[in-house]
Amino acid sequence: DAKTTQPPSMDCAEGRAANLPCNHSTISGNEYVYWYRQIHSQGPQYIIHGLKNNETNEMASLIITEDRKSSTLILPHATLRDTAVYYCIVSPQRGSTLGRLYFGRGTQLTVWP
Partner 1 sequence: DGGITQSPKYLFRKEGQNVTLSCEQNLNHDAMYWYRQDPGQGLRLIYYSQIVNDFQKGDIAEGYSVSREKKESFPLTVTSAQKNPTAFYLCASTYQATTGANVLTFGAGSRLTVL
**Interface ranges with partner 1 (CB under 8 A):** 32, 34, 36, 41-46, 49, 51, 87, 91, 93-95, 98-106
Between 15 and 96, CB nearer to partner 1: 96
- The SS3 of residue 82 is helix
Question: What DSSP state is assigned to residue 81?
Answer: G
Question: What minimum distance in Å lies between the beta carbon of 16 and partner 1?
Answer: 27
Residue 54 in contact with residue 7, Cβ under 8 Å?
A: no
Between 18 and 87, CB nearer to partner 1: 87
Question: What are residue 62's phi and psi, to 5 degrees?
Answer: -120, 120
Between 42 and 113, CB nearer to partner 1: 42
